[in-house]
């Protein structure tokens, strides 16, 4: 079971990081520094977690609770098409 949780955690982190990195702002939209910092933090944390799992493997010990949070964040990221402002609903 831990190997399945580790693999799913890696997949969720990679999906979130990849989706946020490929986001392109629409022409004419506002640039918000706070949202950009949040997006950068999400990319750094999810990418770092994916790299840790890739390099360390099952010894990284991700929990099922962490996987649950990452799966919810992955769904939100893909529904918002990578737009962190839509996830946060910042106006």
Note the pTM of the prediction, 2 decimals: 0.89
pLDDT band, residue 83 (cuts 50/70/90): very high
Q: Quick one: how far is CA 30 from the chain centroid?
A: 22
DSSP secondary structure string, 38-64?
A: HHHHHHHHHHHHHHHHHHHGGGG---H
- Token pair listed for 48: 């770092």
pLDDT digits (tens, 9 = 90+) for 25-72: 889 989 999 999 999 999 999 999 999 999 997 788 899 999 999 999
Alpha-carbon Rg for the chain, nearest whole angstrom, is: 14
Q: CA–CA separation, 54 vs 60, rounded Å? A: 9
Q: CA–CA separation, 51 vs 62, rounded Å? A: 13
**Residue spans per domain, the chain:** 2-20+30-88
């Amino acid at each position: 079971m831990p190997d399945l949780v580790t693999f799913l955690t890696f997949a969720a982190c990679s999906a979130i990081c990849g989706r946020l990195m490929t986001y392109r702002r629409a022409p004419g939209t506002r640039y918000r520094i706070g949202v950009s910092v949040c997006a950068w933090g999400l990319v750094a944390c999810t990418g770092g977690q994916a790299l840790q799992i890739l390099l360390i493997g099952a010894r990284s010990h991700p929990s099922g609770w962490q996987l649950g949070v990452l799966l919810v964040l992955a769904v939100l990221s893909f529904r918002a098409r990578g737009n962190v402002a839509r996830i946060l609903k910042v106006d």
